[in-house]
Structure 1
């Protein structure tokens, strides 16, 4: 049977589990809001770092006594040293609470105060007056949002770079391996598999460049705006000192120069950066789909690529191998596309002086970034690294294609070339047989003009050496 202690807030007494490190406001929220995911642990760690930086800044500005600040810092350091699993025990609140994240801010204040009391009960640390000194949920929570988003973007960028490197290796390995191209899902002119991969690499490089160029939009912090952006109850220059400390802690050039009214009521930076993440999701979905379709078969599909057999593919069909890594990353991409809608709506809810969809916005953002980081890494290590080509099958499809007739067009004209292709299809013969039968070309001319490798224009590319 759970034992309880009793604490009071401005609404009266509250029963709290006796071993819980939180206080009455957290307990009220725990009882009132039970739906959905827990607040991301990244947000909890960021809030703790912000409060530590705030305590240090308030000490430097003469706003708080040294003994209280030192105790707050000691309590926060103790919490930050915990594993995510152990830290979570003290932070039970869900995302779907107040739109400002006030309950999670108070959860942080209460836990720090209780830990401080255990360390040194002789010094009273109050959640609101001390831990939250000169702060408001309205500026603390969006500051944590931008910090966690920045960290997540940097992890994602590393995963993209890893995938680019792996694909570049395959690009070089298969630079001269000719395959049939496809447009509108129909046969087209030849290209090399290396050329095809180079398109994937370029897509990812653009995505990486977009994220890199847009990331600084997250550096402006709302800290110091307090309740509505005016900075009421915050000491002059406190935001500068807090921001300097946070920049040092995270190794990111955060800025306190952001307009605080904007910082509280709008999240355009998060919305914009997630747009780049959405673009990345679209691109990895395309790449993964191309690979899994080209690997379809082995007897009744394209069968141009061989992918690693990471696990059995079917509970009923023996020997079946499925493109599971491709399926995982495309599902993640679909989730990201949905999250972008959530973020767009959430970013629009800056009612007057404060956006009130902050928790769901940062939940969706972090989920997108983390999902893509993990699935891109898995896709790279467990699929791309082991990807090989079925060159015999690629050559067979090129030889049987009618679209190599395009190489005849400059020599005998579009109309006669089309007639040859149609005749080959009608009679079920090869293009060469139909071309020679037409009398429009000699065998020597056909062999010279219809050269799949020459048709790829490799000589125009820097990697052709």
Structure 2
């Protein structure tokens, strides 16, 4: 069953029961590109609804929209915010038209739901029009980027909700492994002793910095261009609309939105997306580095570092019996590579802006939202299927410390650089341990040596008397 709707290109059949209309249907027909639909990003849909809600309130306050229409549009927007109509947003995330298809998708859904609430049939746009009423005083060029910014801010909050437990998991392992002595390494060579707990606590601290960075960078999205309409001149918007709409959006969302001081500058500007995407890239690089470390530390089990054991998640080979691979860090690495690639897409899309508009915002938006969703899914997987189940090979870690050349660094303040070099060289040439060579050459007594090599004396600054 279909209803017939028409636009400047003519008539088109639209499924009778759907809330979207003809322009959404054209987008469905035209843009079968990524296979990733708007409904897969519910925070973005909510953001679109909030923007239209704020616009309706503003138009009513300025005397441009009667109370009945305003009430119906706001009620419909609230239902969209609640997630009742997510499946009514089937447009592809990558689309031509600078986001017009997405903007009209929300306009049509709200118009048709408002019509129902007022007792009319879907498509009876003379009573509530997607363009004349829902999109009143707006253009895609101000409503769409404002929704993008709100959607990213809300998605950022979700991202941090998933990052924080991952940090906590690393920190718990830091406490669990606080007494596990091991060798630290620089340039993949033995360095000086540390604890496995210190290593995992460093992972936690490294990622904790990203919460502040993501929050700080997302604050740039609080400056919006509602009221700019087509290019920033505010054509077809009433005087005072821009600031009042920002205030209404602030009131509705609880976020400190402000109207951009120069709407012509703000309309094509995508600098805030670039810097936020760079924060996602930075976080991805850090997580990927940590996963590289986990893979190295668990390598073996007989011919690698073998300091930690990652949970065995699946058989590792179709030909090598008994092999188990670090599949969870591996998949997290690949997620991070995708995020890094998405950042390049954001960079190129931002650079592609021309004159008074950047028409590449759809792929820019998709890239940022996809990066956040991938990180959310990946961090949950990394935490639950890897970090929480890591165990330490305590004795093996300790044996590597005792047999390493690296502990000679701890002796350097006591026996001097020349003696330390001599002992290190002999240990390398003979394969004997530094510990036994120091005793054999009567450089220190066993009591002195044991005290110096006490883990507590090697893991932090200490005065040498």
Shared fold, TM over 0.5: yes
Matches within 5 A, 1:20-419: 20-36=18-34, 37-39=36-38, 40-83=41-84, 87-88=86-87, 90-119=88-117, 120-121=119-120, 124-315=127-318, 317=320, 319-419=322-422
Structural RMSD (CA):
2.4
Partners of 1:241 and 1:143 in 2: CA distance: 14
Query: Contact 1:175/1:195 (CA < 8 Å) preserved in 2?
Result: yes
Q: How far does residue 99 in structure 1 lie from its aligned partner after superposition?
A: 4.7
Partners of 1:73 and 1:449 in 2: CA distance: 72
Task: Determine helix, strand or coil for the equivalent of 1:8.
Answer: strand
Task: Determine helix, strand or coil for the equivalent of 2:432.
Answer: coil
Query: Contact 1:109/1:128 (CA < 8 Å) preserved in 2?
Result: yes
Ranges in structure 1 where 5+ consecutive residues have no aligned partner: 461-465
Partners of 1:157 and 1:5 in 2: CA distance: 44
Ranges in structure 2 where 5+ consecutive residues have no aligned partner: none
Partners of 1:315 and 1:223 in 2: CA distance: 57
Partners of 1:150 and 1:180 in 2: CA distance: 42
Partners of 1:354 and 1:257 in 2: CA distance: 15
Q: How far does residue 258 in structure 1 lie from its aligned partner after superposition?
A: 4.7
Query: Contact 2:43/2:155 (CA < 8 Å) preserved in 1?
Result: no
Q: How far does residue 336 in structure 1 lie from its aligned partner after superposition?
A: 0.9
Q: How far does residue 214 in structure 1 lie from its aligned partner after superposition?
A: 2.2
Q: How far does residue 136 in structure 1 lie from its aligned partner after superposition?
A: 0.2
Q: How far does residue 440 in structure 1 lie from its aligned partner after superposition?
A: 4.4
Partners of 1:459 and 1:328 in 2: CA distance: 41
Query: Contact 1:420/1:438 (CA < 8 Å) preserved in 2?
Result: no
Partners of 1:319 and 1:252 in 2: CA distance: 54
Partners of 1:207 and 1:115 in 2: CA distance: 41
Given the two structures, how large is their TM-score scaled by the length of structure 2?
0.90
Q: 1:160 to 1:82 in 2, by over 3 A?
A: closer
Partners of 1:451 and 1:299 in 2: CA distance: 28
Range that drifts further, 204-213 or 187-196 = 204-213
Question: CA-to-partner distance for each residue in 1:154-187, whole Å, 9 max, x for gaps?
Answer: 1222222222222222223322321101110111
Partners of 1:442 and 1:79 in 2: CA distance: 77
Q: 1:388 to 1:262 in 2, by over 3 A?
A: farther
Partners of 1:336 and 1:126 in 2: CA distance: 39
Given the two structures, how large is their TM-score scaled by the length of structure 1?
0.90
Partners of 2:242 and 2:312 in 1: CA distance: 54
